Amino acid sequence: MVLDRPAPIGERPLHATTREARAPGEDDIAIEVRACGVCRTDLQLCEGDLAARTLPIVPGHQIVGRVSAIGSRVTRFAVGDRAAIGWLASACGACKHCHAGRENLCERAAFTGWDRDGGYATRAIARADFAFRVPESFSDADAAPLLCGGVIGYRSLKRSNVAPGGKLGLYGFGASATLTIQIARARGDRVFVCTRSIEERTRAIELGAEWAGGYDERPPEPLDGAITFAPSGDVVVAALRALDRGGTVAINAIHLDRVPEFSYDALWLERNIVSVANYTREDAEELLALAAQIPVRTVYDTFALDDANVALERLRAGRVRGAAVLVA
């Protein structure tokens, strides 16, 4: 399913096409795709909120499947192995950020489904050193949402600076938040959720939230940290105002509409606002191991590959159960 040019998702900007399969490069693996998660970032790319880097492009960066071919220098995988591909397609390995263990900030990083063709396809190619093994306790479709919503939620939890057992706020309660709350509760955090949807508030309580309310409500206790999932600057300010002294708001969004003017009193007393950009391979490896240990349970609706536009439409309308996954 290929994007030639961005357009409103109602205009069905993705179209089916058939290409000749190309051989993987010497450091690459080819994967027969069994499942690919559908992400809000894919929607933003298709509609133009996220500027395209390469067109035409095959979106999708939550890919699980079986290795069907390997490059001449690949030793980490063999044909028939199960493998997964996430958002980070490559990093230079030589810049100051890569040397500091922050390859997510590499200026020459490339991204799956943005710079390189992704997983809205029956076959995908990726660098072997940026692919992952998937715990056998997860099916292909179970694993797919972990590769974006799971790992970026995990990095956001780190960036929120909430110590285990602390008071964490989650603003928005879509696919990423439903995975993040399971990790937070497993380490003993007290979780408070703000979301517009009554159904999502109910689901949050079922997953262990201590309290759930709307964006215009303040949690009953000051928060040690918060993560915002909604791509709205108003929500960032609401989370900031709910913090205790020294608390941090981590913004889990690749695109944000704007941050409105707010009183300095909301930031005073060493409160912080930080962004969350991409992830490192270490984050992904840690998250996959932790998800198997807890275990984290993913909730999703499945769609055929040809129905990728429909999946994105339903994601936009909030009419998916947790996540959406394209399956072979």
Across all residues in the chain, what is the average pLDDT?
96
* Rounded-to-integer distance, Cα 57 and Cα 124, Å: 12
What is the model's pLDDT at position 73?
A: 98
List the chain domain ranges: 2-138+298-327, 151-275
84: which strand partners?
A: 64, 132
Q: Which amino acid is located at 97 in the chain?
A: H
Query: How many Å separate Cα 27 from the centre of its chain?
Result: 25
pLDDT over 70 percentage in the chain:
100
- Domain 151-275, what architecture? 3-Layer(aba) Sandwich (3.40)
Task: Report pTM.
Answer: 0.94
Domains 2-138+298-327 and 151-275 equal at CATH topology level: no
Angle between helices 281-293 and 175-186 (to 10 degrees): 70
**Does the domain spanning 2-138+298-327 belong to CATH 3.90.180.10?**
yes
Q: Which amino acid is located at 197 in the chain?
A: S
What is the model's pLDDT at position 1?
A: 98
Strands 131-132 and 28-38: unpaired
Taking only the tens place, the pLDDT of each residue in 137-155 is 999 999 999 999 999 999 9
**For residue 122, with 0-12 CB atoms within 10 Å meaning exposed, 13-18 middle and 19 or more buried, which class applies?**
middle
What is the model's pLDDT at position 253?
A: 86
Judged against a pLDDT cut of 90, whether residue 256 lies above it is answered with no
The residue behind tokens 């909030």 is 318
**DSSP state at residue 18:** -
Judged against a pLDDT cut of 90, whether residue 238 lies above it is answered with yes
What is the model's pLDDT at position 139?
A: 96
Classify 231 as helix, strand or coil. Answer: coil
Cα 62 to Cα 35, 36, 39, 138, 267, distances in angstroms: 8, 5, 8, 14, 36
Report residue 152: phi and psi, to 5°: -75, -30
Mean pLDDT calculated for residue range 111-116: 98
Taking only the tens place, the pLDDT of each residue in 49-92 is 999 999 999 999 999 999 999 999 999 999 999 999 999 999 99
**For residue 319, with 0-12 CB atoms within 10 Å meaning exposed, 13-18 middle and 19 or more buried, which class applies?**
exposed
What is the model's pLDDT at position 255?
A: 81
Cβ-based neighbours of 15, under 8 Å, separated by 6 or more? 1, 2, 4
The residue behind tokens 């997510």 is 104
